[in-house]
Amino acid sequence: MDRVIAVSGDQLLDRRQVVATFLAERGPLLVVTGLGAPTYDVAAAGDDPRNFYLWGAMGGAAMVGLGLATAQPGRPVAVVTGDGEQLMGMGALATIGARRPRNLSIVVLDNERYGETGGQLTHTAKGVDLAGVARACGFEEAVTVRTADQVLALRGRLQLRQGCLLAVIKVDTADLPRVLPPRDGALLARRFREAVVGEPL
């Protein structure tokens, strides 16, 4: 990692570097992104027809990922979202934990802020432990990632189908330039379907 910032004894990772690292050599991985920074970061790592960008629907990314993982059990699926969105979709963690898809990973880029609305503190800044919630919901694996080595280990784990995973990655609050992927919903749906099943809509 190029940039690691120390704050109050904790190390916060550069989120864009983190995303570029765990999406490198992604193999057959399908990716669903939450709104805002996760979408920009995944696009910055390289626009790909196997990326399904959610431009809105805050709180819905994990459930879209569950639907995709259920429909494509032979493919690994990763949801890349933020702490604000995942807090809004807490019920999704219970549903995923009850279903336990073996091919679904939820990656939460946690900067403890609502980045799209002014940087207000989220509940993770006040002690809410999303990995702990996921464990209580029945996820096979739930971890908090704080180091570059852990990000590298996560990259390999995302490509496997070894049970549902939630990884909370502690990232810094840097306001990075936006990298905007296509915003046309019909285009995104069409190219994603063609990339996944080889058939147009």
Tens digit of each residue's pLDDT (9 = 90 or more) over 168-180: 999 999 989 999 9
* pLDDT above 70 coverage of the chain, percent: 94
pTM of the model: 0.92
Average pLDDT across the chain, whole number: 91
Q: How confident is the model at residue 201 (pLDDT cuts 50, 70, 90)?
A: low
Contact 90, 152 (CB under 8 A): no
The runs of H, that is alpha helices, within 9-129 are: 15-23, 37-44, 61-71, 83-88, 90-99
Rounded (5°) CA angle 136-60-19:
80
pLDDT for 5 equals: 30
> Mean per-residue pLDDT for 97-121?
92
Phi first, then psi: give them for residue 111, nearest 5 degrees.
-105, 5
Asked if residue 1 has pLDDT above 60, the reply is no
Tens digit of each residue's pLDDT (9 = 90 or more) over 11-22: 799 999 999 999
Helix axes 90-99, 61-71, angle to 10 degrees: 20
Asked if residue 82 has pLDDT above 50, the reply is yes
